[in-house]
Structure 1
Amino acid sequence: MTYCVALRLNRGLVFAADTRTNAGIDNIGQFRKIHYWCQPGDRVLVLLAAGNLSLTQSVVSLLNEQILEPDPETPNVLSVHSMYRAARLVGEAIRTVRAVDGPALESAKTGFAGSFILGGQIGKERPRLFQIYPEGNFIEATDDTPYFQIGEHKYGKPILDRVAQPTMRLGQAAKLILLSFDSTLRSNLSVGMPIDILIYEADSLDLRREKRIDKDDEYFKKLSNSWSEALREAFTKIDEFDV
């Protein structure tokens, strides 16, 4: 399993993903789940992937092949003129992979499992964020729901629901996302470090802030300990239940 999350803010976008994959308790691997394409001054696109690793890698490979072997009749993520069109391309790539691998997976009763979050900015268009489903259709983040999660999302969702706001600063949003990861890591062994985090500043049209956070990262350890202490202190201050 995996956990990926992204926030769309007035100031930009924040993305994060763990790196653990597993095919059973004795087959654990580490793979990068954040992929991006950047043409400084023109566009930045970031893709998070969760689900069957062979399927998500095939989708990313197909998108890369469209760039490496350009066809004037076929758009790619570096030639489309809007993030909406880029999301459509990812959806079409999912359907292409599904058409090839889906029947075999269905016959093995495995099912087609692959979902994505796509965010970024093209030209003067404002930064946008999409969640793309295994069927290839998608929805867009709004001010009412400024974040998306894919993978093992339930443990990290409550704090996002309570705190996430589009007016947050990028550093605040990164802290919130890491707290969401801390909750997930404590409750689900299928999600594991390192965590890749990427921050995109609106209208920069470049990627300047990216980091891999491992288990020995001093900030993350301090964040986790401080959050645990704050929760315990808040808990003790609430009146006890009395029947």
Structure 2
Amino acid sequence: MAAANREVQGVAVPLMQERKRFRSDRVIALAVSLIAIAGWGGWIYSALDADRTERQLRGQVSALLDYQSLYASQRKAVEDGERQIAQLTEQLSSARSELERQTAKYKQTESELAKARDRLAALDPILRAPAVGSAPELLRITPLPTKEDVKAAQEALTQLRFGTINANGVMGASTRQAIEEFQRTVGLPVTGELQPQTLQALMRAAKVIAAQAEKAR
């Protein structure tokens, strides 16, 4: 029986050793598996982290592009505003020049109107001239003017600046045109003929102008 026990023990010892080695192999395999799982987990985590980082970078790049587009748009708006300001400045300068030109023209017109008023004031006595025959100092006026009457009228028209007329005593086209302008100026019927009233008005106007010139001298 002792021999049988020794035999049993001889079989049991290797079996236990085999079981220990199997357990050890299982532990090693489990450890290797855990290490592998941890490695894959780390790789997956790294991949996920890289993807997250890439998405963040893409978002930042997109934001930068949007900011660049906004900056370009704002810069263009500023440049457009500067161009508009330059155009308005140019238009203002042009308007100022036009205003100065119109002001000078207005002053010139005022000066001409003042001269015209003075001329009308000088001709005012003519418009209120007495009837024919009440001024014996005037040349004799007949219904049909004489050559001397025409000559005197031509000299008076030249003196009153209704044209430069040759005082030859002949009723030519230039003389008739000057008479028409004079009649229109003083408010007489415009006929172009040297009528008594026209001749009398011419003589009075010539006297007034001569008196003013003498007074000025």
Larger gyration radius, structure 1 or structure 2: 2
Say which structure is richer in strand.
Answer: 1
> Does TM, normalized by the shorter one, top 0.5?
no
What TM-score comes out, normalization by structure 2 length?
0.21
TM norm structure 1: 0.19
Greater RCO (CA < 8 Å, at least 6 residues apart): 1
More helix by share: 2
